[in-house]
Amino acid sequence: MESKRREGRGKEKGEMIVKEIIKEEVLTLAEAKEILVTLTERMKEAEGREEEEVRYEQRKALEHASKFAKLDVEGSKALISDLMKLKKMNNNIAVRIADLMPRSKNEVRAIYAKEQFTLSEEDIEEILDCIARYI
């Protein structure tokens, strides 16, 4: 009987229905914004929906990405490419830096706070110089 009740309840609060994960990758806010804009436009065209009818979660994600994306897709990809040439850099950190665009040494240190290594002053300056080229 317990299993019948679970089957009948349907979707639990906060539970997402995912058919299949095809690919996982880290995206910048600019890339997420571009994808969300494209999906929103496709939904409107296909279903004749108005903006207010787009799913709440998708609309909120697009608002967030629009508000906080500091570079466009090309700029963020170019910055990540430049950052990846530096030592003590990996893709996840480069994406965080491209999203946050830190302007001070303390902001860079905060991004690296959970890492297993610390940055030298020279490393931090290289990161800030790299960011300065895109501001």
Query: Do 35 and 62 belong together in one domain?
Result: yes
Same domain, 85 and 120: yes
Rg of the chain in Å (alpha carbons): 20
Query: What confidence tier does 12 reach under pLDDT thresholds 50, 70, 90?
Result: low
- Compute the average pLDDT of residues 16-29: 84
pLDDT level of residue 116 (50, 70, 90 thresholds) = confident
Mean pLDDT of the chain: 85
Same domain, yes or no: 113 and 81: yes
The amino acid at residue 52 is: E
65 & 78 share domain:
no
Query: Is residue 85 domain-resident?
Result: yes
6 pLDDT more than 60: no
**What is the rounded CA–CA span in Å between residue 59 and residue 51?**
8
Q: Residue 109: is its pLDDT beyond 70?
A: yes
Q: What is the pLDDT of residues 93-107, one digit of tens each?
A: 999 999 999 999 999
Residue 6 lies in a domain: no
Does residue 103 lie in a domain region?
yes
16 in any annotated domain: no
CA distance readout (Å), 28 to 12, 78, 105? 30, 12, 21
Same domain, 33 and 80: no
Domain region containing 54: 24-69
80 and 116 co-located in one domain: yes
